[in-house]
Amino acid sequence: MTRRPVTDPARAVRDALSRVIDPEIRRPITELGMVDAVSVDEHGCAHVAIKLTIVGCPAADTIERDVREAVASAAGVASLDLDVSVMTPAERAALTGRLRGSHGRVNPFTRDSLTRVYAVTSGKGGVGKSTITANLAVDLARRGLRVGLVDADVHGFSIPGILGLVHDGVAQRPTRVDDMILPPVAYGVKAISIGMFLDPTRGQGASTAVAWRGPMLHRTISQFLTDVYFGDLDMLLLDLPPGTGDVAISVGQLLPGADVLVVTTPQPAAADVAVRSGVVARQSGQHVFGVIENMAGLSAPDGTVLDVFGSGGGAEAAARLSDDSERVPLLASVPLSVALRAGGDRGVPIVVADPDDPAAVAIRSVADRLASRPRGLAGRSLNPRPA
């Protein structure tokens, strides 16, 4: 390091450290109480003590590297003496309290939340709902929005794999800070899934089945919303299981202000069942924002279009979900795409791997619609009750 004269080198170091962001919490380490002490001696050696949240913190190497780079950029510093330790239980409790705020351990995405919540649903399985949800989340994050994704398909979880969070058959595990869960981040999206909690040492890898009934499913979704620290999000997307069962009902109870995106294929049978999922969402007080038709016509090399799964199902579902008071739009028709399927298999969403593919273009057009809606309570029903 080259020493440069400065009036207050310790302040320069602190200013530099304020630009170091915890990769899991996504807040400056100076705001999280992770900087324990800073001083600079007469020789220009900066003495910095930082405290990680837990023993074995998975972000430790990244934080230490970023701290060293930040201090090296501070004026008046010639060298660095870095001490790394771990927070005490009291310090961790103070941190979780600071992050949760005055409301404590509650669901932050209630009806009066400023976060836009989208529940992605379908009537049948196998229509590509998870692939659509993951790609929408990633494209929204690439626009600079703060995005969270809850894999609410507890029995058929697939979000970790689509986002590239599965390695050697095991999903990346969240970090626990006492009773707070820090979700892994992929492509800028904070994601949580039951697949991240299965224990590979007990044979519970990515291929393990989860056989739970209603109360356990409700508790899991509630815990994802309450105990997972997403921070201040612009948007939260939920990948729901197919059908109108326990999870759909729980999401309606826990997130009554959510907007719903209905995914279907062009096949009339799939569209018919998709309409039912939209009706159930409406019965729980949620708003059907639109329909996305997936697996539409496949373009052949000679320019012809092969309707493998038929045609018109998306438009039909949108029309049947519309009424005199509100028109439900068909947001996009996503064509069959080998690249879309391959991206999900490789853990590299198509909006990243091949954004000009017709399927990616269609998905990005939906993201355009979602991103254009401002945060806030304007236009929402607040369900006021008399005091």
92 and 224 in a common domain? no
72 and 133 in a common domain? no
Q: Please give the average per-residue pLDDT across 195-211, as a whole number.
A: 62
296 and 154 in a common domain? yes
pTM of the model: 0.83
Whether the per-residue pLDDT at 7 is higher than 80: the answer is: no
> Does residue 383 lie within any of the structural domains?
no
Query: What is the tally of structural domains in the chain?
Result: 2
87 and 196 in a common domain? no
194 and 164 in a common domain? yes
Give Cα separations from 89 to 52, 177, 312 (angstroms): 12, 10, 58
Q: What is the pLDDT of residue 50?
A: 95
35 and 182 in a common domain? no
121 and 97 in a common domain? no
207 and 60 in a common domain? no
Q: Please give the average per-residue pLDDT across 79-99, as a whole number.
A: 91
pLDDT one-digit tens code per residue, 171-198: 899 998 888 999 999 999 999 999 898 8
Q: What is the pLDDT of residue 357?
A: 94
Question: What average pLDDT is seen over the chain?
Answer: 86
Task: Output the domain CATH number for residue 159.
Answer: 3.40.50.300
Give the pLDDT band (50/70/90) at residue 385: very low
286 and 156 in a common domain? yes
Whether the per-residue pLDDT at 16 is higher than 90: the answer is: yes
Whether the per-residue pLDDT at 203 is higher than 80: the answer is: no
Q: How many CB atoms lie within 10 A of CB 77?
A: 24
Q: What is the pLDDT of residue 110?
A: 81
62 and 164 in a common domain? no
Whether the per-residue pLDDT at 346 is higher than 70: the answer is: yes
Whether the per-residue pLDDT at 51 is higher than 60: the answer is: yes
Q: Tell me the residue range of the domain where 91 lies.
A: 9-103
- What percentage of the chain exceeds 90 in pLDDT? 52
Q: Facing residues of 46 across strands?
A: 40, 80
DSSP strand E in the chain: where? 35-40, 45-52, 79-86, 116-122, 147-151, 166-167, 170-171, 175-177, 180-182, 185-186, 189-193, 235-239, 259-264, 287-296, 298-299, 305-306, 330-335
> Does residue 3 lie within any of the structural domains?
no
Which of residues 156 and 30 earns the better pLDDT score? 30
Give the pLDDT band (50/70/90) at residue 2: low
Whether the per-residue pLDDT at 334 is higher than 90: the answer is: yes
> Does residue 366 lie within any of the structural domains?
yes
Q: What is the pLDDT of residue 257?
A: 83
Q: What is the pLDDT of residue 355?
A: 95
Whether the per-residue pLDDT at 85 is higher than 90: the answer is: yes
Q: What is the pLDDT of residue 161?
A: 94
Q: What is the pLDDT of residue 387?
A: 40
60 and 131 in a common domain? no
The two structure tokens encoding residue 7: 């009036």
Q: Please give the average per-residue pLDDT across 344-360, as a whole number.
A: 95
193 and 226 in a common domain? yes
Q: What is the pLDDT of residue 62?
A: 93
Q: How long a stretch of residues is the chain?
A: 387
In 3D space, the residue among 102, 143, 77, 127 whose CA is nearest the CA of residue 243 turns out to be 127
Q: What is the pLDDT of residue 145?
A: 96
Task: Output the domain CATH number for residue 32.
Answer: 3.30.300.130
Q: Please give the average per-residue pLDDT across 310-335, as a whole number.
A: 89
